[in-house]
Structure 1
């Protein structure tokens, strides 16, 4: 499985988003059963997209992340393209539709780069 970089501060989050053209965040907390079951499935999906850099954020370690990204529940999955939010999913995330959305975005970005 593709390892997710664990971010532990707002500065690390900002740096991660800024330094990666496609940056994906998985926001979670340890005692969330939905989060625990969803993360391995998302990791499997993200293995298909090596151009997308992935990170994990424990909202208990960085509570201010909730205000920064307007998060009211977990898990939350956010994909940034060139520092702009392109996709957000929360709570129950059906894997097949999520994969299709990521695929469309990544293909669009890669076709822009190759043009």
Structure 2
């Protein structure tokens, strides 16, 4: 998953993609490191969903901009609007269901 390095890059990415997922983590978070490969694997089933990774230590403004109080955080956007979010404990089954719904809705 490619990284974004500024709040401006994050905003531009979300605005320019029909379906997007932003994964927010921190370097010292073991859950973040364990969850990232699972999210990347799941996204292989949804090639229309663009994804990016944000290090909250590198881009501390991300916490205030998206009201993220804990990591890891997965934020899903459709046409620039937040549609789904999970933080700390991200159930992969629920994430898969939400991505499937959005993918289906936008394919109609």
TM-score by length of 1: 0.91
Shift of 1:102: 0.9
Report Cα offsets for 1:5-63 as digits up to 9, x if no partner: 20000111011011111111000011101101000000000011010000000000000
State the secondary structure of the residue aligned to 1:50.
Answer: coil
Determine which structure has more spread, i.e. the larger CA radius of gyration: 1
* Equivalences, count: 108
* Structure 1 segments of 4+ aligned residues over 4 angstroms from their partners: none
TM-score by length of 2: 0.97
Among 21, 40, 44, the alignment partner of 1:43 is: 40
What root-mean-square deviation, in Å, do the aligned CA atoms of Structure 1 and Structure 2 show? 0.7
Q: Unpaired runs of 5+ in structure 2?
A: none
